[in-house]
Amino acid sequence: MSEATKTLTLKKTQDWKLPTSVLDAALADDENAMIAGCMDGVYRLQFEPHQEELLYQHESYVSSVGLLKENQIVSAGYDGGLRWFDVEQRKLLRTTRAHDFWSWDMSVSADRSRIASVTGQYLAGSYKYEPQSEKEPSLKVFAADSGDLLHQLPHIPSTQAVAISPDNRFVAAGNLMGEVRVFDLDNGQMAANWTTPDFTSWGIIKSHCYLGGIFDLQFTPDSQSLLLCGMGPMRDPMAGNGRQLWQRWDWKKETPTLLDQTHQGQSGEGLMETLAIHPRSEHFAMGGRLRGGDWNLALFDLDSGDRIASAKTGFRITRVQYTADGKSLFVAGTQGQPKPKKDDSPLPPFGRVERYEIG
């Protein structure tokens, strides 16, 4: 760690439980509530006073949620659908069949005018097990106000992560094989394309297939570089013991260039599933599942790349988000999944939301 890098602390100050796994979450604009996409539907979790409400459901798990204008939210699910909902009126506004397969991830643009969703099923294309070509466009972009389809863009399945740049000009998507494609949102033309093999594993012990991939990506606030996260490669992907990995890429160069990645000695083992960047670009947060080591939530200095704070939450993290002032971090996820009971009594809640103060 460089001498100029300042270390910070993460202190848990509040925690809440939801009935089922939280697969994604979005902090409300007033920061007194969170919209949570869960296994059994979309919830509104109010912090003070504590109250939770199931707003509506998909036909399967809810993979992503996002905030739109005028008390509206949008969600995506493993049913391949997008759903628009008015929180104030408690009314479902629109349903769109976005994909024939799952929506792995969804992103709402900073100006809340566009929605991007990615899909794709990994099926072996030959005896080498490279993915088959897509059976439907892997990346689709919709108008947030009308639900109209704006772009259908190609990628290689499964495409598991998507992000729209802060300047609302580009959309990036990453897949199972570590390939990133960036498209211009005005004309749908590809603006950049490269592959990093560091997030993909070929199983030779238990699983003879590819596993892993890019699980989240985020543009830096100036839209000039991209952060990627996932897990480093390993011989036995089912063990989940690859390196906790992030990379930063300069995607605007003629040949995209790796700028930085998880520093030696600053990671343990586990799949990293979510990234968030501090509102003033001071640092970024990464979280996920812990397989080995002493943290599954960490902050990294955005300039130096050094790890500057960490915490061991005790549960799988699926979403991290800073408050607008950058002083707190909300963390959502799931603490296992209880085994079915022999009687009809309800399962104990296993969705988790926590708040950490950054000091």
- The CA distances from residue 195 to 139, 177, 243, 303, 319, in Å, are 17, 8, 18, 23, 25
Quick one: average pLDDT of 123-130? 91
Q: What is the pLDDT of residues 52-68, one digit of tens each?
A: 999 999 999 999 999 99
DSSP lists the bridge partners of residue 76 as 64, 82
Q: What is the pLDDT of residues 220-245, one digit of tens each?
A: 999 999 999 999 988 776 778 899 99
pLDDT of residue 296: 98
CB burial readout 48-61, b (16+ within 10 A) else e? eeeebeebebbeeb
Beta strands in 154-293 (DSSP E): 159-164, 170-175, 179-184, 190-195, 200-202, 210-212, 216-219, 225-231, 244-250, 257-261, 272-277, 283-288
Quick one: average pLDDT of 130-159? 97
pLDDT of residue 252: 96
Confidence bin at 2 (pLDDT 50/70/90): low
pLDDT of residue 294: 96
Q: What is the pLDDT of residues 18-46, one digit of tens each?
A: 999 999 999 999 999 999 999 999 999 99
Indicate whether 4 pLDDT > 70: no
Residue 340 or residue 328, greater confidence: 328
Count H helices, E strands: the chain?
0, 30
Radius of gyration of the chain (CA): 19
CATH code at 10-18+111-339+347-358: 2.130.10.10
Q: Delimit the domains of the chain by residue range.
A: 10-18+111-339+347-358
Confidence bin at 3 (pLDDT 50/70/90): low
Quick one: average pLDDT of 93-113? 98
Quick one: average pLDDT of 115-128? 95
H-state helical runs in 19-103: none
Q: What is the pLDDT of residues 255-314, one digit of tens each?
A: 999 999 999 999 999 999 999 999 999 999 999 999 999 999 999 999 999 999 999 999
Mean pLDDT computed over every residue of the chain: 95
pLDDT of residue 87: 97
pLDDT of residue 70: 85
Confidence bin at 343 (pLDDT 50/70/90): confident
Query: pTM score > 0.85 for this model?
Result: yes
Indicate whether 115 pLDDT > 80: yes
Q: What is the pLDDT of residues 150-205, one digit of tens each?
A: 999 999 999 999 999 999 999 999 999 999 999 999 999 999 999 999 999 987 77
